[in-house]
Amino acid sequence: SLAGFGNLMQDVLWCFSQVKGTIDIGVTEADIISTVEFNHTGELLATGDKGGRVVIFQREQESKNQPHRRGEYNVYSTFQSHEPEFDYLKSLEIEEKINKIRWLPQQNAAYFLLSTNDKTVKLWKVSERDKRPEGYNLKDEDGRLRDPSMITMLRVPVLRPMDLMVEATPRRVFANAHTYHINSISVNSDYETYMSADDLRINLWNFEITNQSFNIVDIKPANMEELTEVITAAEFHPHHCNTFVYSSSKGTIRLCDMRTSALCDRHAKFFEEPEDPSNRSFFSEIISSISDVKFSHSGRYIMTRDYLTVKVWDLNMENRPIETYQVHDYLRSKLCSLYENDCIFDKFECVWNGSDSVIMTGSYNNFFRMFDRNTKRDVTLEASRENSKPRAILKPRKVCVGGKRRKDEISVDSLDFSKKILHTAWHPSENIIAVAATNNLYIFQDKVN
């Protein structure tokens, strides 16, 4: 059934389903999840971490014996996607951290995904093997070569069943095209091309060609001292293969049409909200920097996330967003501290549900927020081990901003800023969400009656 809340927000109850990852108090940095993504059917859920690994979970078939339980996600494949590298020219390390994973639509039995670190994009093929050939002529079962002179008979090898093996192989490596750090990758709706965006440039690739890419956006100034703005995120339109958007550190979004020119330096549309002069501070620009931009599934809207808000824009209206949602406005008076401890530079992502009726984004203290665009209701939930009983209903959380704190509320000063939900994902058609909390992956589902 198609997703989202056909009913009012308050009618949907979110329940704990699963949590992946260790409970250790000391978190190994390599285990920190850096990206989460469902594939187009929702059958697979991929995570990337700081150690350069990709873990893919597959949803189990729903059991007829237990109709009240939805299919669970279990590990399907784990592989090392990127390794740490050293750039000898600059004497700098290149982190193996997976910045983004994007799935290709499935076209045959195998699954394909793109994964990227700061510099290199890789196309991975994930396929199953449940048969193997046996009875070779030139080698024995151990793989050792036979002496050809000893062979007296020929036989035809046959395929015999074996234990299911899932193997991931790198099919393409797209390297050496980015001077700056890659922040986004996006698969085009033509399924033949994709783009990769770094701080100053966006390149267009063909999946088949790894030794060249087309540069379609370049905002690098001639003199780097004049640099005041960088690209923060980019995405292709879900249906129009010539259209894409990219966001900037100044809170603007540009929509470009690749048909107009080879180098899309001129935007077709420019989205920017006028500044509110009464709210001006030295931190205004920093908190306006857009950390994520996502097209709605319909392609009619774009959603942007800046430090304190999530905004929905209509593609036909450039001068202001049609909706603005406050994620954690109580932080507005704490910006100096958040600047000091660098939290103000945290890049939160945002996601649409399948029907574009609800949007979700993360916050601190392992809180994440959902906003129902129709009812204008919102809810704050928490990803924590305390609420990890199977099918336990998540209780809405509330932050107390001043004055008297009610019993279940938490005060702003008690929030744990080291527990940040930067990455979340929503199943394409069902109310199943994946929330990355540092090194743990939480999966929540709506309550099945």
Partner 1 sequence: MFVRGLKRKCFDGEEDIEGTLAGIKAIPSYNLQRQSLLDMSLVKLQLCHMLVEPNLCRSVLIANTVRQIQEEMTQDGTWQMINTQSTGQASLDRLVSTDILCRSSREQAEGKHVPGYSTFNKDFAGDQAQDSSETMSTASSVQAPRNLQSNVWEMENPQENKGNFQKSLDQIFETLENKSPNSVEDLFSEVDNSYYDLDTMLTGMMSNTKMGHCDGLETFSSPTTATSNSNCKSDLNELDHIVEILVES
By CB under 8 A, residue 95 contacts partner 1: yes
By CB under 8 A, residue 62 contacts partner 1: no
* DSSP string computed for 247-267: EETTS-EEEEETTT-SS--S-
Nearest to 18 by CA among 447, 446, 449, 441: 441
Nearest to 323 by CA among 358, 354, 290: 358
Length of the chain: 449
Report the nearest approach of partner 1 to the CB of residue 248 (Å): 9
Q: Which of 85, 285, 318, 323 binds partner 1 (CB under 8 A)?
A: 285
Q: Which of 29, 62, 93, 140 binds partner 1 (CB under 8 A)?
A: 93
Q: Which of 12, 71, 241, 339 binds partner 1 (CB under 8 A)?
A: 339
Order across the sheet with 309-314: list the strands.
292-295, 301-305, 309-314, 323-326
By CB under 8 A, residue 176 contacts partner 1: no
CB closer to partner 1, 93 vs 192: 93
Q: Which residues make beta-bridge pairs with 417? A: none
Distances, alpha carbon 371 to alpha carbons 232, 306, 320, 374, in Å: 23, 15, 19, 9
Q: Are strands 410-411 and 399-400 parallel, antiparallel or unpaired?
A: parallel
Only one of the segments 56-64, 85-93, 140-148, 424-432 lies at the binding site for partner 1 (rule: CB under 8 A); that segment is: 85-93
CB closer to partner 1, 183 vs 431: 183
By CB under 8 A, residue 297 contacts partner 1: no
Q: Which of 29, 130, 265, 275 binds partner 1 (CB under 8 A)?
A: 275
Only one of the segments 135-143, 223-231, 238-246, 321-329 lies at the binding site for partner 1 (rule: CB under 8 A); that segment is: 223-231
Q: Whole-angstrom Cα distance, residue 170 to residue 68?
A: 39
Encoded one letter per residue, x for contact with partner 1 by CB under 8 A and - for no contact, window 227-246 reads: xxxx-x--------------
Report the nearest approach of partner 1 to the CB of residue 343 (Å): 11
Distance between terminal CA atoms of the chain? Answer: 15
In one letter, which amino acid is 197? A
Q: Which of 83, 130, 329, 340 binds partner 1 (CB under 8 A)?
A: 340
Report the nearest approach of partner 1 to the CB of residue 341 (Å): 6
Nearest to 312 by CA among 300, 424, 38, 328: 300
Q: Whole-angstrom Cα distance, residue 409 to residue 400?
A: 6
CB closer to partner 1, 41 vs 337: 337
How many angstroms from the chain centroid is the CA of residue 267? 25
Q: Whole-angstrom Cα distance, residue 23 to residue 20?
A: 9
By CB under 8 A, residue 154 contacts partner 1: no
By CB under 8 A, residue 332 contacts partner 1: yes
Q: Which residues lie near partner 1 (CB under 8 A)?
A: 89-93, 95, 118, 179-181, 199-200, 224-230, 232, 249, 275, 277, 280-283, 285-286, 289, 332-337, 339-342, 345, 412-413
